[in-house]
């Protein structure tokens, strides 16, 4: 009996140690990507202290101004709809234009991604290629159509399909949301590209007021 207890205890400690190392490695990769974004975009980075001996590690966040706009990059504390799924949110400040819209890639999961659209009807631009690729819910279709140039429509369709992300317009911000965390170069680049797009879009939206 004594030998079995020692074995089980040793096994438990070994499993805990491996899990701790995995958490530490994953956290360091995420922090490294945020530090690169912080340096590139000149944004302030916040790295929370780990808790429970390092078994709880909250994600870092970025805040500051870029191209004259308030910017934040963070991960909400809770999973989506009380699940374990987390998403990373990039928010770009936008003067109130009364424009509200939500854009995501079409497909089987489009309805779930449109959970926050407030019951708005789907809007179609008339561009068949774009409409087949992007599910848009908006209360201001005419205003949106003037902002979605051919180049922007093409970029959005490609980006949303590739990233499985969602773009929200409203509440004083343009937001790009993507499931998961920024743990590699490709995902970091997606957010950098999204930031430039959102800043360009915000400038055009405010000029059209």
Distance (Å, whole) CA 7 – CA 14: 10
91 class by beta-carbon count within 10 Å (0-12 exposed, 13-18 middle, 19+ buried): buried
Q: Is 76 helix (H, G, I), strand (E, B) or coil?
A: coil
**Helix (H) or strand (E) segment spanning residue 138:** strand 134-138
Contact between residue 122 and residue 144 where contact means Cβ atoms under 8 Å apart:
no
Q: Which tokens in the block code for residue 157?
A: 């369709």
> Average pLDDT, stretch 147-164?
92
Q: What is the mean pLDDT of residues 158-172?
A: 91
pLDDT in tens, 78-92: 544 455 578 999 999
Separation CA 157–CA 129 (nearest Å): 9
- Inform me whether the pLDDT recorded for 20 exceeds 50: no
Sheet holding 87-93: strands in order across?
A: 44-46, 61-66, 69-74, 87-93, 173-179, 166-170, 101-105, 134-138, 122-123
pLDDT tens digit string along 53-86? 544 567 899 999 999 999 999 998 654 445 557 8
pTM comes to 0.83
- Phi/psi region, residue 182 (left: phi>0; alpha: psi -120 to 50; beta: rest), is beta
CA 35/CA 70 separation, integer angstroms: 18
Residue 153: phi, psi to the nearest 5? Answer: -60, -45
The enclosing H or E element of 141 equals helix 141-147
**55 or 159, higher pLDDT:** 159
Question: For residues 137 and 147, what is the distance between their CA atoms, to the nearest angstrom?
Answer: 15
């Amino acid at each position: 009996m004594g030998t079995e207890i020692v074995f089980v205890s040793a096994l438990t400690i070994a499993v805990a140690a491996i899990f701790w190392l995995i958490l530490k490695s994953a956290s360091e990769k995420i922090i490294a990507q945020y530090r690169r974004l912080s340096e590139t975009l000149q944004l302030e980075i916040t790295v929370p202290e780990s808790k429970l001996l390092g078994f709880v590690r909250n994600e870092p966040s970025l805040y500051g101004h870029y191209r004259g706009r308030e910017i934040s990059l963070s991960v909400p504390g809770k999973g989506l709809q009380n699940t374990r799924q987390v998403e990373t949110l990039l928010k770009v400040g936008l003067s109130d234009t009364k424009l509200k819209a939500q854009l995501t890639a079409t497909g089987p999961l489009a309805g779930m991604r449109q959970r926050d659209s407030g019951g708005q009807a789907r809007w179609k631009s008339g561009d068949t290629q774009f409409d087949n690729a992007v599910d848009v819910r908006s209360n201001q279709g005419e205003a949106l159509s003037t902002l979605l140039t051919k180049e922007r429509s093409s970029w959005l369709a490609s980006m949303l399909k590739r990233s499985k992300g969602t773009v929200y317009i409203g509440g004083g911000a343009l937001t790009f949301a993507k499931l998961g965390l920024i743990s590699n170069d490709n995902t970091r680049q997606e957010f950098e590209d999204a930031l430039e797009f959102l800043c360009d879009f915000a400038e055009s939206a405010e000029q059209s007021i």
